[in-house]
Amino acid sequence: MGGSTFGRVFQIHSFGESHGKAMGVVIDGCPSGVKFSLTQLQEFVNRRRPGFSPFSSKRKEADQVELLSGVYEGYTLGTPIALLVYNQDARSSDYDEIKKKPRPGHADDVWKVKYKHTDHRGGGRASARETLSRVMAGAVAKMLIQSLQPKLNVFSFIKSIGLFEISSAATQAIMQHPSPKKELEKLDLAIPDKECLEKVKKLLGDAGVSGESYGGVVQLVVRGLPAGLGQPVFHKLKADLALALLSIGSTVGLEFGDGFKISSERGSEFHSLQQQHNYAGLRGGISTGEAMVVKIAFKPVSSVGAVARNGRHDPCVLQRALPIVESMVLLSIADHLLSCRLDKV
């Protein structure tokens, strides 16, 4: 059964295999009258592009987005918005051996069980390239949110890679920063702690050569979220965000605020420390209007050793994951902002 639709009102339908002809997305449910800029969308997508940071994979694709429908004279029409990127650098020959020998840690073999007939080239639809569709749609969600809640701000940074973690002080500093995105864009890697950043750069530089790989934790922050978002009981905001974020490849867990730490505390402590625990943004799974924090754990990438030898090894996906994480959260928030219009008569 199909699984490429996300959202209940602001719905996106994604398609595309890594080494097929194109990747794309159709957004159905975006209202008319949203100011739309293809240039902004392209910039948003460029953040995701492999090859953007010196540490990421060498596959460099222009990923030029084509707008096919749903927009006229700079504003959305209320009709489906279709966005497309043709695949150019599809070196499927690299992947010919996979057909017989599934790669360890990849989903090749479970897809085989599931579908019997699969496209093995570059992981087919199981490839990380699939997230391009999410980011294109995320850019549109951002434009809609801009129209509805101009002060809403979604940003994310790397909290830890391997055993290196940014300090509490650095975390607080970026969370309170008046323009966190600009601040983060200045950095090679979005690690807003100079000392930690240097250590990680050294770590990943070495790993790029040795073929080692690392996971880590991404911290996502939403500021300016209105109160009352989330639909009881199965579509609480926290539940829909969990669906959104755990649908991303390599994610292995998430917590709201300091979730796991909170679970070991006494109730009397917790309730006096909610702000400090970054847990003030949710109550009963519904937004409260205060800032919301989610931390997402990523496992180390599966491509270790062998793949590194052809010079295409990316030892850590976290930098690339940031626009994907943000896109999924933007999509979920856009969906909930619209769905709340139906709450009261």
Site for its own copies in 119-148 (CB under 8 A): 119, 124-126, 130, 144, 147-148
Name the minimum Å distance from CB 180 to its own copies: 22
* Phi–psi pair at 218, nearest 5 degrees: -100, 135
Size of the site for its own copies (CB under 8 A): 135
How far apart, in Å, are the Cα atoms of 287 and each of 68, 215, 224, 281?
35, 29, 11, 6
Q: Is residue 326 a contact point for its own copies (CB under 8 A)?
A: no
Q: Is residue 62 a contact point for its own copies (CB under 8 A)?
A: no
Name the minimum Å distance from CB 188 to its own copies: 21
Cβ closest to its own copies, residue 263 vs residue 311: 263
How far apart, in Å, are the Cα atoms of 319 and each of 157, 165, 171?
8, 15, 17
Q: Is residue 246 a contact point for its own copies (CB under 8 A)?
A: yes
Q: Which of 62, 209, 227, 306 binds its own copies (CB under 8 A)?
A: 227
Q: Which of 31, 40, 94, 280 binds its own copies (CB under 8 A)?
A: 31
How far apart, in Å, are the Cα atoms of 250 and each of 73, 245, 255, 306?
39, 10, 16, 19
CB 323 within 8 A of CB 44: yes
- Among 28-36, 43-51, 174-182, 190-198, which window interacts with its own copies (CB under 8 A)? 28-36
CA distance 262 to 79: 44
Cβ closest to its own copies, residue 100 vs residue 344: 344
At residue 292, what is the residue type?
Answer: M
Q: Which of 43, 66, 185, 188 binds its own copies (CB under 8 A)?
A: 66
Q: What residues contact 320, with CB distance under 8 A and at least 6 apart?
A: 48, 50, 52, 53, 56, 128, 314
CA distance 259 to 295: 9
Q: Which of 175, 247, 280, 312 binds its own copies (CB under 8 A)?
A: 247
Q: Which of 67, 175, 187, 280 binds its own copies (CB under 8 A)?
A: 67
Tokens, residue 27: 């957004």
Q: Is residue 88 a contact point for its own copies (CB under 8 A)?
A: no
Name the minimum Å distance from CB 178 to its own copies: 27
Cβ closest to its own copies, residue 50 vs residue 216: 216
Binding to its own copies (CB under 8 A) within 146-205 occurs at 147-148, 160, 162-163
CB 280 within 8 A of CB 274: yes
CA distance 75 to 193: 40
Binding to its own copies (CB under 8 A) within 266-305 occurs at 266-268, 270-271, 279, 283-289, 297-302, 304-305
- Among 150-158, 167-175, 182-190, 262-270, which window interacts with its own copies (CB under 8 A)? 262-270
Q: Is residue 342 a contact point for its own copies (CB under 8 A)?
A: yes
Q: Is residue 77 a contact point for its own copies (CB under 8 A)?
A: yes
- Please spell the DSSP secondary structure of 13-36, one letter per residue: EEE--TTSSEEEEEEE-PPEEEE-
Q: Which of 56, 219, 251, 319 binds its own copies (CB under 8 A)?
A: 251
How far apart, in Å, are the Cα atoms of 324 and each of 129, 185, 198, 236, 266?
11, 16, 24, 21, 35
Whether cis (ω within 30° of 0) applies to the bond prior to 233 is yes
Name the minimum Å distance from CB 186 to its own copies: 25
Name the minimum Å distance from CB 137 to its own copies: 11
* Token pair 């009397």 in the structure block, residue: 268
